Chain A
Amino acid sequence: MYFKTKLVLLLCVINVMFVATSQAGVVHDGKGKAVEPTPRVDVTDPVPSGKGWGHRPSDAARDESGMTVESMPPIDATELMPSGKGWGQRPVNGKAGPSRTTKYTNGINYHNGPLILGTTNVYYIWYGNWSGNTAPSILNNLASSIGGSPYYGINTTYYDGQKRYVTNAVQFMGAATDNYSQGAALTDASVKTIVANQISSGALPRDTNAVYFVLTSADVNETSGFCTQYCGWHTYGSIAGANIKYSFVGNPDRCPSACSAQTTSPSGNAGAGGMASVIAHELAEAVTDPNLNAWYDSQGMENADKCSWKFGATYTTPNGAQANMKLGGMDYLIQQNWVNANGGSCTLSYP
Chain B
Amino acid sequence: MKTRLLPLLTLIASLSAPAQAAGDQQQRIPTVTRLVQLFSTLESELMAALQKGDTTAIDKMLADDFELRSGAMPGTPTPRAEWLRRSHGQAAAPIEQMAVHDYGSAAVVSYLWKRGARHDVFIVDVWGKSGDAWKLSARYASPAGDRRFTVPGAALESQPSEKK
Q: Of the listed stretches B57-65, B80-88, B95-103, B135-143, name the one at the interface; the rest are far from the partner chain.
A: B95-103
Partner of B92, one of A29, A44, A84, A257: A44
Q: Which of A7, A41, A258 contacts B44, CB < 8 Å?
A: A41
The yes or no answer to A253 lying at the interface (CB within 8 A) is no
Asked if A331 is an interface residue, CB under 8 A from chain B, the answer is no
Give residues of chain A (1-47) contacting chain B, Cβ–Cβ below 8 Å. Answer: 3, 7, 10-11, 14-15, 18-19, 22-23, 27-30, 35-44
Contact among B16, B31, B96, B114 with A233 in the assembled complex (CB-CB below 8 Å): B31
Q: CB of A309 within 8 A of chain B?
A: yes
A88 within 8 A of B: no
Interface set, chain B 89-122, CB cutoff 8 A to A: 92-102, 112, 114, 116-117
Residues of A within 8 A of B133 (CB): none
Given contacts A39-B96, A39-B97, contact A27 B23 (CB under 8 A): yes
In Å, the complex CA distance between A7 and B47 comes to: 41
In angstroms, Cα B36 to Cα A114, docked, is 30
Name the interface size band of chain A.
35 or more
Shortest B149–chain A CB gap in Å is 16
CB distance from B76 to the nearest CB of A (A): 28
Most buried by B among A19, A39, A42, A259: A39
Chain A residues with CB below 8 A from B31, complex form: 230-233, 278, 281-282, 304-305, 308
Q: Write out the residue numbers on chain A whose beta carbons fall within 8 Å of the beta carbon of B28.
A: 38-39, 233
Q: Does B30 contact A (CB under 8 A)?
A: yes
- Contact between B12 and A18 (Cβ–Cβ < 8 Å)? yes
The complex places the Cα of A233 from the Cα of B26 at a distance, in Å, of: 15
A-side binding surface: helix, strand, loop or mixed?
A: mixed
User: Does A188 make an interface contact (CB < 8 A)?
Assistant: yes
CA–CA, A15 and B12, complex, Å: 8
The residue that A14 contacts in the complex, of B12, B26, B116, B162, with Cβ under 8 A, is B12
Selected contact of B16 from candidates A10, A18, A39, CB within 8 Å = A18
Contact yes or no, A40 B20, CB < 8 A = no
Chain B's nearest CB lies how many Å from the CB of A235? Answer: 4
CA distance in complex: A15, B117 (Å): 12
Checking A10, A15, A27, A39 against B29 with a beta-carbon cut-off of 8 angstroms, the contacting residue is: A39
Distance (whole angstroms) from the CB of B54 to the closest CB of chain A: 14
Min distance, Cβ A298 to any Cβ of chain B, angstroms: 12
Interface residues on B, range: 35 or more
Q: A160: CB under 8 A from chain B?
A: no
Contacts of B25 in A (CB 8 A): 38
Please tell me if the beta carbons of B24 and A23 are within 8 angstroms of each other in the complex: no
Q: A82-B27, A309-B34 are in contact. Are A289 and B164 (CB under 8 A)?
A: yes
Q: In the assembly, what is the distance between CA of A300 and CA of B93, in Å?
A: 17
Q: Is B130 interfacial (CB 8 A cutoff)? A: no
In the complex, A305 Cα to B31 Cα: how many Å? 6
A271 to chain B, nearest CB (A): 14
Number of inter-chain CB pairs below 8 Å: 162
Residue of B nearest to A18 (CB): B16
Q: Whose C-beta in chain B lies nearest to the C-beta of A27?
A: B23
With A23-B117, A37-B27, A42-B94 already in contact, the answer to whether A257 and B12 are too (CB < 8 A) is no
Contact of A38 with B112 in the complex, beta carbons under 8 Å: yes
Bound complex: CA A328 to CA B46 (Å):
44
Q: Are A39 and B27 in contact (CB under 8 A)?
A: yes
- Check A234/B164 contact, CB under 8 A, given A255-B33, A300-B27: yes
Which stretch, A48-56, A116-124, A134-142, A221-229, touches the partner chain B?
Answer: A221-229
Contacts of B117 in A (CB 8 A): 19, 22-23
Report yes or no: A35 in contact with B164, Cβ–Cβ below 8 A. Answer: no
> Chain B contacts of A302 at CB under 8 A?
29, 164
B79 within 8 A of A: no
Interface centre among B30, B35, B116 (most CB of A within 10 A): B30
**Residue B5 lies at the interface, judged by CB distance under 8 Å to chain A:** yes
Whether B96 lies near A38 (C-beta < 8 A) is yes
Q: How far is the CB of B21 from chain A (nearest CB, A)?
A: 7
22 contacts between A and B (CB under 8 A): A7-B8, A18-B12, A23-B117, A35-B27, A36-B26, A41-B95, A84-B27, A229-B30, A229-B97, A231-B30, A232-B30, A235-B163, A255-B33, A257-B34, A258-B33, A258-B36, A258-B100, A285-B164, A292-B162, A302-B29, A305-B32, A309-B37
Q: In the complex, given contacts A39-B97, A232-B31, A258-B102, what are 20 additional A-B residue pairs having Cβ atoms less than 8 angstroms apart?
A: A10-B5, A11-B12, A18-B19, A22-B16, A22-B19, A22-B20, A42-B94, A43-B94, A43-B95, A44-B93, A44-B94, A225-B30, A229-B32, A231-B31, A233-B30, A257-B102, A258-B35, A259-B33, A261-B34, A278-B31
